[in-house]
Protein backbone atom coordinates (compact mmCIF):
# COMPACT_ATOMS: atom_id res chain seq x y z
CA UNK A 1 0.00 0.00 0.00
CA UNK A 2 0.93 3.59 -0.66
CA UNK A 3 1.82 5.46 2.53
CA UNK A 4 -0.82 8.01 1.53
CA UNK A 5 -4.45 7.40 0.67
CA UNK A 6 -5.22 8.13 -3.02
CA UNK A 7 -6.88 11.40 -2.08
CA UNK A 8 -3.97 12.49 0.08
CA UNK A 9 -1.50 11.36 -2.57
CA UNK A 10 -3.11 13.51 -5.25
CA UNK A 11 -3.24 16.42 -2.81
CA UNK A 12 0.44 16.01 -2.05
CA UNK A 13 1.33 15.73 -5.73
CA UNK A 14 -0.65 18.73 -6.87
CA UNK A 15 0.79 20.82 -4.09
CA UNK A 16 4.28 19.77 -5.08
CA UNK A 17 3.69 20.31 -8.76
CA UNK A 18 2.34 23.85 -8.60
CA UNK A 19 4.37 26.88 -9.59
CA UNK A 20 3.73 28.91 -6.48
CA UNK A 21 3.73 26.23 -3.85
CA UNK A 22 3.91 27.54 -0.36
CA UNK A 23 7.49 26.53 0.51
CA UNK A 24 8.74 28.54 -2.47
CA UNK A 25 6.82 31.54 -1.23
CA UNK A 26 8.36 31.21 2.20
CA UNK A 27 11.85 31.13 0.72
CA UNK A 28 11.14 34.13 -1.52
CA UNK A 29 9.64 36.19 1.26
CA UNK A 30 12.58 35.40 3.47
CA UNK A 31 15.17 36.40 0.89
CA UNK A 32 13.20 39.49 -0.07
CA UNK A 33 12.84 40.52 3.56
CA UNK A 34 16.62 40.37 3.78
CA UNK A 35 17.10 42.66 0.86
CA UNK A 36 17.81 40.14 -1.88
CA UNK A 37 16.25 40.71 -5.26
CA UNK A 38 15.48 37.76 -7.43
CA UNK A 39 13.83 36.52 -10.56
CA UNK A 40 11.39 33.65 -10.78
CA UNK A 41 11.43 30.53 -12.92
CA UNK A 42 13.99 31.83 -15.37
CA UNK A 43 12.97 29.93 -18.47
CA UNK A 44 16.35 30.19 -20.10
CA UNK A 45 18.13 28.50 -17.25
CA UNK A 46 18.52 24.76 -17.08
CA UNK A 47 16.03 23.16 -14.73
CA UNK A 48 14.13 26.44 -14.27
CA UNK A 49 15.35 27.29 -10.79
CA UNK A 50 12.63 28.55 -8.46
CA UNK A 51 14.62 31.60 -7.47
CA UNK A 52 17.40 33.24 -9.47
CA UNK A 53 19.68 35.87 -7.94
CA UNK A 54 21.71 37.21 -10.86
CA UNK A 55 23.68 39.66 -8.75
CA UNK A 56 24.86 36.85 -6.51
CA UNK A 57 25.23 34.40 -9.36
CA UNK A 58 23.09 32.03 -7.34
CA UNK A 59 20.04 29.92 -8.02
CA UNK A 60 17.77 28.19 -5.54
CA UNK A 61 15.70 25.09 -6.07
CA UNK A 62 12.92 24.44 -3.61
CA UNK A 63 12.49 20.72 -3.96
CA UNK A 64 9.55 18.58 -2.99
CA UNK A 65 10.87 15.65 -1.00
CA UNK A 66 8.84 13.09 -2.92
CA UNK A 67 9.46 14.11 -6.53
CA UNK A 68 13.11 14.83 -5.94
CA UNK A 69 13.68 11.96 -3.51
CA UNK A 70 15.16 13.73 -0.53
CA UNK A 71 17.52 11.13 0.88
CA UNK A 72 16.62 9.61 4.24
CA UNK A 73 13.45 11.72 4.33
CA UNK A 74 10.17 10.16 5.37
CA UNK A 75 8.31 12.19 2.76
CA UNK A 76 10.34 10.55 0.02
CA UNK A 77 8.87 7.10 0.68
CA UNK A 78 8.09 5.44 -2.62
CA UNK A 79 4.62 4.09 -3.24
CA UNK A 80 4.62 0.31 -3.19
CA UNK A 81 1.87 0.11 -5.78
CA UNK A 82 3.27 0.36 -9.33
CA UNK A 83 6.70 0.04 -7.76
CA UNK A 84 8.54 -0.32 -11.06
CA UNK A 85 6.87 2.74 -12.54
CA UNK A 86 7.76 4.87 -9.54
CA UNK A 87 11.25 3.47 -9.34
CA UNK A 88 11.97 4.55 -12.92
CA UNK A 89 10.14 7.82 -12.66
CA UNK A 90 11.75 8.96 -9.42
CA UNK A 91 15.24 7.71 -10.27
CA UNK A 92 14.89 9.61 -13.54
CA UNK A 93 14.06 12.78 -11.60
CA UNK A 94 17.08 12.35 -9.36
CA UNK A 95 19.41 11.83 -12.33
CA UNK A 96 17.96 14.86 -14.10
CA UNK A 97 18.46 16.98 -10.98
CA UNK A 98 22.10 15.92 -10.77
CA UNK A 99 22.69 16.82 -14.42
CA UNK A 100 20.92 20.14 -13.94
CA UNK A 101 23.13 21.08 -11.00
CA UNK A 102 26.30 20.05 -12.87
CA UNK A 103 25.32 22.09 -15.92
CA UNK A 104 24.39 25.19 -13.95
CA UNK A 105 27.65 24.97 -12.01
CA UNK A 106 29.53 24.67 -15.28
CA UNK A 107 27.91 27.92 -16.33
CA UNK A 108 29.19 29.55 -13.17
CA UNK A 109 26.04 29.44 -11.06
CA UNK A 110 26.10 28.54 -7.39
CA UNK A 111 23.27 26.12 -6.83
CA UNK A 112 21.37 25.91 -3.56
CA UNK A 113 18.71 23.35 -2.78
CA UNK A 114 16.08 23.76 -0.11
CA UNK A 115 13.92 20.78 0.79
CA UNK A 116 10.26 21.27 1.56
CA UNK A 117 10.52 19.36 4.83
CA UNK A 118 13.41 21.54 6.01
CA UNK A 119 11.98 25.00 6.12
CA UNK A 120 13.04 25.99 9.59
CA UNK A 121 14.30 29.46 10.27
CA UNK A 122 17.79 27.96 10.68
CA UNK A 123 17.68 26.44 7.18
CA UNK A 124 16.64 29.76 5.71
CA UNK A 125 19.42 31.52 7.59
CA UNK A 126 21.92 29.01 6.28
CA UNK A 127 20.63 29.59 2.75
CA UNK A 128 20.90 33.35 3.12
CA UNK A 129 24.41 33.11 4.48
CA UNK A 130 25.37 30.72 1.72
CA UNK A 131 24.15 33.14 -0.92
CA UNK A 132 25.73 36.20 0.69
CA UNK A 133 28.83 34.51 2.08
CA UNK A 134 30.57 33.72 -1.15
CA UNK A 135 29.47 36.96 -2.74
CA UNK A 136 31.52 38.81 -0.15
CA UNK A 137 34.48 36.91 -1.58
CA UNK A 138 36.86 37.10 1.33
CA UNK A 139 35.96 40.68 2.18
CA UNK A 140 34.77 39.82 5.65
ZN1 LIG B 1 12.57 15.94 2.99
Cα of 124 vs centre of ligand 1, distance in Å, is: 15
Total-model pTM: 0.78
Quote the ligand 1 centre to 50 CA distance (angstroms): 17
State pLDDT tens for residues 77-93: 999 899 999 999 999 99
**Of 22 and 72, more confident:** 72
pLDDT band at 138 (very low <50, low <70, confident <90, very high): very low
Per-residue pLDDT at 2 exceeds 80: no
Over 50: is that where the pLDDT of 139 sits?
A: no
Using the CB atoms, write b or e for 32-41: b if 16+ within 10 Å. Answer: eeeebebeee
In the sheet where 110-115 sits, what is the strand order? 39-40, 51-53, 58-63, 110-115
In this model, does residue 17 exceed pLDDT 80? no
Q: Distance from the CA of 103 to the center of ligand 1, in angstroms?
A: 24
Amino acid sequence: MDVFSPKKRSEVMSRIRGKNTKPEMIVRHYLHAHGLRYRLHAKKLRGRPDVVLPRHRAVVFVHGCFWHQHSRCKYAARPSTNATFWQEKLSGNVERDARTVAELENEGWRVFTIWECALQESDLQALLQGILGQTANGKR
